[in-house]
Amino acid sequence: KRRRVQRESLGDTMTRSLARGQRIEIRGFGSFDLNHRPARIGRNPKTGERVEVPEKHVPHFKPGKELRERVDLALKENAN
């Protein structure tokens, strides 16, 4: 239960920071920021009907160099 509370607290803090337009960087791990997606016309895959998709901001994660290298090394070790 304690871990769940900590995870929710971290998630809430990150959400508030991103909503304020702040970039979050965790050294050696990566960074989070927001990407803007403009409004567009999409299609309903079931009916083919055109639908308006409103603009939105979506979280974006960019892994840091250390994380990328560690994952690459782990994949190479598992392949052997």
Domain boundaries, the chain: 2-79
Query: Is the pLDDT at 26 greater than 90, yes or no?
Result: yes
Torsion of CA 67, 69, 72, 73, to 10 degrees: -110
Predicted local distance difference test score (pLDDT) of residue 80: 72
14 and 34 in contact (C-beta within 8 Å)? no
How far, in Å, CA of 24 to CA of 26, rounded? Answer: 7
Query: Is the pLDDT at 41 greater than 90, yes or no?
Result: yes
Give the SS3 label for residue 56: strand
Pick the CATH number of 2-79 from 3.40.50.450, 3.40.228.10, 3.90.79.10, 4.10.520.10: 4.10.520.10
Residue 57's alpha-carbon distances to 38, 67, 69, in angstroms, are: 9, 25, 29
Place of tokens 């999409």: 42
